[in-house]
């Protein structure tokens, strides 16, 4: 199985070297694609220097900051065009431990999942350094998304994931509309609509220690408004917006 790890960056100069070294050490056989949105702090330059040293790393310089969803759509398109079997995604701010990447990919390659989510809210997952109010906001926001969208995903906002390439094609990833953190919810929603198998692999989420978070109340409001709209729409017109079922050559089982 060929695996491509897609990593969007914007002003991650303080983190990108440690991220790339740790990821290359954790998964030496995976290819890494850094998707940099014209970071003014020189993130792309640092990544290209590390690419020459470590190997199997490519930097795609994008002309402007166009959002998380746009970066991932670009990365997935590159991976599918080049024939990768599995597309993974993660943050470069060191909140996602590269040591967990192989478990996410294994849930797809050998565990029968169409999509694997690095989850903070299944047994074994945790967020050790978040204050109680932030943890509660995230946890109940995810519960609200699951309720409104009619699925059982515990952590639909997590950005640490792996997909079968055929799953991304099946959900028409290039037709997604969300461009911020809502993009994560939209992908999980689409996989669930297609009756895809979603595995949640426990992770320990470590909040960034260097650089500034991209999360703000505008992002939260976008998520809640769109989730509410999607859920209400599906209840009022059931089946109309449902995607077709995923097709597989062999029978699939749900991972334990």
Q: Where are the chain's structural domains?
A: 3-236
Position 129 scores a pLDDT of 84
Position 151 scores a pLDDT of 94
Of residues 55, 52, 42, the one with CA closest to residue 16: 42
Q: How does strand 198-202 pair with strand 86-89?
A: unpaired
Position 207 scores a pLDDT of 77
Position 137 scores a pLDDT of 82
Position 73 scores a pLDDT of 97
Collapsing DSSP states into helix, strand and coil, what is residue 134? helix
Collapsing DSSP states into helix, strand and coil, what is residue 34? strand
Position 254 scores a pLDDT of 39
Query: Which residue stretches of the chain have pLDDT < 70?
Result: 208-220, 239-256
* pTM, 2 dp: 0.89
Task: Tell me which CATH homologous superfamily contains domain 3-236.
Answer: Spore Coat Polysaccharide Biosynthesis Protein SpsA; Chain A (3.90.550.10)
- Cβ-contact 187, 177 below 8 angstroms: no
Largest CA distance in the chain: 55
Return the CA Rg of the chain: 17
């Amino acid at each position: 199985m060929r695996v491509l790890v897609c990593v969007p960056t914007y002003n991650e100069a303080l983190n990108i070297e440690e991220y790339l070294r740790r990821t290359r050490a954790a998964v030496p056989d995976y290819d890494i694609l850094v998707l940099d949105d014209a970071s003014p702090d020189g993130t792309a330059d640092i990544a290209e220097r590390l690419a020459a040293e470590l190997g199997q790393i490519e930097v795609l310089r994008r002309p402007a900051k166009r959002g998380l969803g746009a970066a991932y759509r670009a990365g997935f398109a590159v991976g599918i065009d080049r024939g990768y079997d599995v597309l993974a995604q993660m943050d470069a701010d060191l909140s996602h431990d590269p040591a967990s990447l192989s478990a996410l990919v294994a849930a797809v390659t050998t565990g029968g999942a169409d999509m694997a989510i690095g989850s903070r809210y299944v047994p074994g997952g945790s967020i050790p350094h978040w204050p109680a109010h932030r943890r509660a906001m995230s946890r109940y926001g995810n519960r609200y998304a699951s309720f409104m969208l009619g699925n059982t995903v515990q952590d639909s906002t997590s950005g640490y994931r792996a997909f079968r390439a055929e799953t991304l094609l099946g959900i028409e990833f290039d037709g997604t509309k969300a461009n911020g953190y809502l993009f994560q919810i939209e992908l999980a929603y689409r996989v669930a609509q297609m009756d895809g198998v979603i595995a949640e692999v426990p992770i320990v989420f470590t909040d960034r220690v260097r650089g500034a978070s991209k999360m703000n109340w505008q992002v939260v409001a976008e998520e809640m408004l769109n989730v509410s709209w999607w859920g209400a729409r599906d209840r009022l017109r059931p089946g109309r917006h449902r995607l077709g079922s995923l097709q597989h050559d062999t029978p699939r089982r749900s991972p334990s």
